[in-house]
Amino acid sequence: MPARAGNAAAAKPNERTVTITRAFDAPRDRVFKAWTDAGRIAQWWAPRGFAIPVCEADPRPGGAFRLCMRWAERGDYWMRGRYAEIVAPERIVIRGVASDAEDRPRLEAIIDVTFAEQGSGTTMTVTTTARGSGEIAAAMLDGMEEGWNQTIDHLGLHLAQYR
């Protein structure tokens, strides 16, 4: 007897992978530094409507990554983790946990970023795979692509300031 589609979906944990590629008119080392310097990360890493009151980055394998995204209406959302891989200025991999506004861990995430020279600019690809269980995790996953697109828009604006 064939399995019903609903049964297969119910057995699988909430998981989503989002891949976004963007080209920037900025040298690769500048784009890479925007991902590894805590002061710069705090200027761009968040969707619209969020502020970054706390950002810590120790960009080396095993180094800590900690970021608070504050949404005035709904509170703080945290991303805490470790740099799993750093290959300057080519690749960054961060493994972390995203927490909800009550600081409860909701998603485990792997953020894999590559940087390729494209003439005098850079093509960056961000692939994020996140998984979690429950309704709040599902809602966070549903908004993941839009959130990353807005965040990368902010990165583009940030990079434009350093031309």
- Which band of pLDDT confidence, cut at 50, 70 and 90, is reported for residue 86? very high
Q: Work out the mean pLDDT of the chain and round it to a whole number.
A: 91
Within the chain, how many helices (H) and strands (E) appear?
Answer: 5, 7
Q: What per-residue confidence (pLDDT) applies to 158?
A: 97
CA distance 90 to 79: 22
In this structure, is residue 100 part of a structural domain?
A: yes
118-150 per-position pLDDT tens digit = 999 999 999 999 999 999 899 999 999 999 999
> For the whole prediction, is pTM greater than 0.85?
yes
In this structure, is residue 8 part of a structural domain?
A: no
CA distance 16 to 117: 28
* Number of neighbours of residue 33 by Cβ within 10 angstroms: 18
In this structure, is residue 6 part of a structural domain?
A: no
Helix axes 135-142, 144-160, angle to 10 degrees: 50
In this structure, is residue 106 part of a structural domain?
A: yes
43-82 per-position pLDDT tens digit = 999 999 999 999 999 999 999 999 999 998 889 999 999 9
In this structure, is residue 57 part of a structural domain?
A: yes
For the chain, percent of residues with pLDDT exceeding 90: 84
In this structure, is residue 7 part of a structural domain?
A: no
Output the domain CATH number for residue 125.
3.30.530.20
**Under a CB-based contact definition with an 8 Å cutoff, are residues 66 and 38 in contact?**
no
- Which band of pLDDT confidence, cut at 50, 70 and 90, is reported for residue 11? very low
**Domain count of the fold of the chain:** 1
Domain range enclosing 93:
14-160
Q: What per-residue confidence (pLDDT) applies to 74?
A: 83
Give mean pLDDT, residues 99-110.
Answer: 92
Lateral strand order in the sheet of 91-99: 14-24, 121-132, 105-118, 91-99, 75-87, 64-71, 50-57
